[in-house]
Chains A and B, each alone.
Chain A
Amino acid sequence: MSEQELAELRHALLNAPESGVTQAIAILFSLMLIVAVLWLVKRRKLREEYTPIWLGVALAVFAVTVELDLLRVITRMIGAWTPSSTIFFLGELFLVVICLNYAVRLSRMSVQMKSLAQEVALLRAGRESGARFSGEADA
């Protein structure tokens, strides 16, 4: 296939009329994600500080679904051939970023947990040895 034909094919794929069903599913997904996040916050299953990233994703999906030209612009920018591959690429990118973010949080929490356990152990040891030395343990 010549370069000319490839360029025409890419142009055709990029400008193919959007499927109404796909668009509806994407809008439904983003709305369901927003509702799920709000429901989890309301039920105290998700703390407010963890919501911006999920609401951000839901709003981004909603925005590119409603405004498909935006998705096409991004597709051209990153050199992809179809808007759907752009969605997959961005989705994977998001998953990598969020996994990294949670890995950082987990690392911080494991350090904090260790400090906390050590503090408790030291406090307990201090109380027990203090009681023993002063003879209160036998009292």
Chain B
Amino acid sequence: MTKRLILIPAWNEEANLPGVLKSVAREAEGFDVLVVDDGSGDATSRIAVENGVQAIRHPFNLGYGASLQTGYKYALRHGVELVVQMDADGQHRAEDVTRLCEPVLEDRLDLVIGSRFLEPTDYEFGAIRGTGRSLFGGIARYFGLRITDPTSGFQALNRKVLRLYSGESFPSDFPDVDVLLAAHRAGIRIGEVSVEMREAPRTSTLHSGLRPIYYVYKMLLSIWANAERPEPPRDG
């Protein structure tokens, strides 16, 4: 049987993590679970261990992208063939994990994004984030990647993607449409599956202060730089 892993990057998520782990245990059979605690100041990693899942704790905060990459490296070392990454804040539903994995297990795709917008939805994104989604969706389309939810962190990935994402260029902060475009350019087959998501708690530092402006700036710069670099070798 394919070795599968659910990867949950977490930073100060002691309040939400128990619920997420319980729903994963209930809904996603046949998966190992790994929580990457990104140097939390609370009991995040202890809660993970108490719930019987593997936990890796960063000695200090490295960023969301770095937490994901720690999980990818762990998966590669342990022979995992399929990783599903989901957030620790309860936004992503464990009920969707099986559907998310199907295209990867059937070898139709290498990377599957759980999309909130593939089908008509009531999901509220707000004006700024909605504009960001349209902008980055448009840029992705320009580069030949048709995706409706470029900022979704709910994804299923196979080993080909894990190898690509374990490289030095993977960002430590927010790996979004820039890494998707880099993957697309490297020949990774990317697609989407419709999922439902709960509203994200408004505690994220990404959505406060000047962060949204910096996020857009950084994404645009990163996308440009990726497009300007020589074509990466395609991994068959």
One of B28-36, B46-54, B189-197, B213-221 contacting the partner: B213-221
Task: Report chain A residues within 8 Å CB of B225.
Answer: 38, 41-42, 48
The size class of the interface chain A forms with chain B is: 10 to 19
Using a CB–CB distance below 8 Å, which chain B residues touch chain A? 59-60, 168-169, 171, 173, 214, 217-218, 221-222, 224-225, 228-229
State whether B218 touches A48 (Cβ < 8 A): yes
Identify which of residues 41-57 in chain A touch chain B, using a CB-to-CB cut-off of 8 Å: 41-42, 44, 48-49, 51-52
State whether B228 touches A48 (Cβ < 8 A): no
Q: What are 20 contact pairs spanning A and B, CB under 8 A?
A: A38-B224, A38-B225, A41-B221, A41-B225, A42-B225, A42-B228, A44-B168, A44-B169, A48-B171, A48-B221, A48-B222, A48-B225, A49-B218, A51-B221, A52-B214, A52-B217, A112-B59, A115-B59, A115-B60, A119-B59
In order of increasing CB-CB distance, the 7 nearest A-B pairs are: A115-B59, A119-B59, A41-B225, A42-B225, A48-B218, A42-B228, A48-B221
With A115-B59, A116-B59, A119-B59 already in contact, the answer to whether A42 and B214 are too (CB < 8 A) is no
State whether B218 touches A112 (Cβ < 8 A): no
CB contact between A49 and one of B59, B173, B229 (< 8 Å): that residue:
B173
Q: How many A-B residue pairs have CB under 8 A?
A: 25
Give bound CA distance, A119 to B168, whole Å. Answer: 22
Query: Of all chain B residues, which has the CB nearest A111?
Result: B60
Task: Beyond the given A48-B225, A52-B214, A112-B60, please list 17 additional residue pairs across the A-B interface where CB-CB is below 8 A.
Answer: A38-B224, A38-B225, A41-B225, A42-B225, A42-B228, A42-B229, A48-B171, A48-B218, A48-B222, A49-B173, A49-B218, A51-B221, A52-B217, A115-B59, A115-B60, A116-B59, A119-B59
Give bound CA distance, A42 to B228, whole Å. Answer: 7
Task: Report chain A residues within 8 Å CB of B169.
Answer: 44
Give bound CA distance, A116 to B58, whole Å. Answer: 9
Identify which of residues 106-134 in chain A touch chain B, using a CB-to-CB cut-off of 8 Å: 112, 115-116, 119
Smallest Cβ distance from B56 to chain A, in angstroms?
12
Query: Of all chain A residues, which has the CB nearest B178?
Result: A48
Task: Report chain B residues within 8 Å CB of A41.
Answer: 221, 225
Smallest Cβ distance from B213 to chain A, in angstroms?
10
Task: Report chain A residues within 8 Å CB of B224.
Answer: 38
Give bound CA distance, A19 to B234, whole Å. Answer: 53
Interface string of A88-119 (1 = CB under 8 A from B): 00000000000000000000000010011001
